[in-house]
């Protein structure tokens, strides 16, 4: 689509007929005198007193248990950089739409003008009683790591930084399937990750938790390979630095089984892909332009499994496959946090769903006659209606097993086998 046409349509979409993408709906009748008596004074005093006696009753008498805060400081918005909190608001509203459409979760989007990580942390801590969960969004690395960890330690509700863990979960699910198709094992794979920010670091951490070998991973940032001889690495990069004499992206990719790009468009050449090991996996996830165009990659390799972040190519790695359902599952058991076991449960739920027959509704949505697990289908499609019934229950059960749930596994959820996470 022409860029000017897209811009015009997007601006009209956001402006008309009512500015913005979200609103608030009232869930109780409020038309009679009796309604008003119950909704506000004097009736509202009854739930107030009940919550004073037992704070857990807030989940019964208020919207807290189904309410998520999508919060940003605007320091790393999509591919636009540090545009600031106000300009980030359309993106946060968009996230709210996805939470509501895919998981029926209500959202307040909150844009915080904070000069320091501590100021941001203090703001979120003070408003946290309002919410059942916190979704951090578009916060630059490395401050995102400090912010998330501090909030996890200080709050008793799930704190989830989607740019880190949402990306990591979808990458891991897709990669496990891609490696299976390529007849390779994660623990044997030599992995190159281009991009050492929030998404890249979180993805490598999760892959290591799933069995990848740290000494098989080479991370690359703007200055080259993260190696133990570099003196410019923050603690998060240093933890993934390799003892290697490889210095450039081209050197790193020579003989690699897996390339994961969370960086910028056009940074990988066909020659780099050609130099990878037999039956490689390439995840070129930069948006809107991938690190290498799929056609260029396929031109030099006929044994490749490839994914991008785009919907117009096979195997889209899209965070919407994860975050709505992860938070849905966490809130349905009133989880105090999102544990690594809950993340791993989401990985396996997504991986396994891609093996199942694809519903006709999904085929129709994409104009396809057939679609089955294979090199061009390693992840469920975002419109797959089964996602909520696979991912949310897996996350909820993992929360119960980890001991972070306030209530038991919901009766209306399907019976699952133990996750062991």
Q: Is 40 a catalytic residue?
A: yes
Contacts of 366 (CB under 8 A, 6+ apart): 381, 383
pLDDT at 419: 54
- Please provide the DSSP assignment of 11-65 as one string: HHHHHSSSSSS------S--SSHHHHHHHSTTTTHHHHHHHHH-GGGHHHHSSGG
Instruction: Give, for all 421 residues of the chain, the pLDDT tens digit.
Output: 588 999 999 999 999 999 999 999 999 999 999 999 999 999 999 999 999 999 999 999 999 999 999 999 999 998 788 999 999 999 999 999 999 999 999 999 999 999 999 999 999 999 999 999 999 999 999 999 999 999 999 999 999 999 999 999 999 999 999 999 999 999 999 999 999 999 999 999 999 999 999 999 999 999 999 999 999 999 999 999 999 999 999 999 999 999 999 999 999 999 999 999 999 999 999 988 999 999 999 999 999 999 999 999 999 999 999 999 999 999 999 999 999 999 999 999 999 999 999 999 999 999 999 999 999 999 999 999 999 999 999 999 999 999 999 999 998 898 887 654 4
Active-site option among 64, 89, 95, 381: 95
Q: For residue 413, count other CB atoms closer than 10 A to its CB.
A: 16
Whole-model pTM: value is 0.95
Asked whether the beta carbons of 74 and 115 are under 8 A apart, the reply is no
Please name the residue ranges forming H helices in 54-164.
Answer: 58-61, 85-103, 117-127, 143-154
- Token couple for 212: 């990848």
Q: Is 95 a catalytic residue?
A: yes
- Token couple for 417: 């086998």
pLDDT at 421: 44
Active-site option among 7, 40, 214, 366: 40
Domains of the chain: 12-27+63-157 (3.40.50.10380), 165-308 (3.40.50.720), 319-402 (no CATH)
């Amino acid at each position: 689509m022409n860029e000017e046409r897209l811009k015009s349509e997007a601006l009209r979409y956001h402006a008309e007929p009512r500015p913005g993408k979200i609103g608030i709906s009232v869930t109780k009748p409020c038309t009679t005198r009796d309604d008003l008596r119950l909704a506000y004074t004097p009736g509202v005093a009854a739930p107030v007193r009940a919550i004073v006696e037992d704070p857990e009753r807030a989940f019964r008498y208020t919207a807290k248990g189904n309410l998520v805060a999508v919060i940003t400081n605007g320091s790393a918005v999509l591919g636009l950089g540090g545009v600031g909190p106000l300009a980030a608001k359309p993106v946060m509203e968009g996230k709210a739409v996805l939470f509501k459409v895919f998981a029926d979760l209500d959202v307040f989007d909150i844009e915080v003008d904070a000069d320091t990580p501590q100021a941001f942390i203090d703001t979120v801590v003070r408003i946290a009683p309002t919410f059942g969960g916190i979704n951090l969004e578009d916060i630059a690395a490395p401050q995102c790591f400090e912010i998330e960890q501090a909030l996890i330690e200080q709050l008793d509700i799930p704190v989830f930084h989607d740019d880190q863990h949402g990306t990591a979960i979808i990458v891991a699910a897709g990669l496990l399937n891609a490696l299976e198709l390529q007849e390779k094992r994660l623990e044997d794979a030599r992995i190159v990750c281009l991009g050492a920010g929030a998404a890249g670091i979180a993805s490598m951490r999760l892959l290591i938790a799933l069995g990848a070998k740290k000494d098989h991973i080479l991370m690359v940032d703007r200055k080259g390979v993260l190696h133990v001889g570099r003196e410019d690495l923050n603690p998060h990069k240093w933890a993934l630095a390799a003892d290697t004499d490889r210095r450039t992206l081209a050197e790193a990719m020579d003989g690699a089984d897996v390339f994961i790009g969370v960086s910028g468009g056009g940074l990988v050449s066909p020659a780099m892909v050609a130099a990878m090991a037999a039956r490689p996996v390439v995840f070129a996830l930069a948006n809107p332009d991938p690190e290498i165009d799929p056609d260029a990659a396929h031109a030099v390799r006929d044994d490749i499994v490839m994914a991008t972040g785009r919907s117009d190519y096979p195997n889209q790695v899209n965070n919407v496959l994860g975050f709505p359902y992860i938070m849905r599952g966490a809130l349905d058991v009133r989880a105090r946090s999102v544990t690594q076991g809950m993340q791993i449960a989401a990985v396996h739920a997504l991986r396994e769903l891609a093996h199942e027959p694809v519903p006709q509704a999904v085929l129709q949505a994409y104009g396809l006659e057939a679609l089955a697990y294979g090199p061009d289908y390693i992840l469920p499609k975002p419109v797959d209606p089964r996602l909520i019934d696979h991912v949310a229950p897996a996350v909820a059960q993992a929360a119960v097993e980890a001991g972070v749930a306030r209530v038991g596994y919901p009766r209306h959820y399907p019976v699952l086998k133990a996750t062991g996470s």
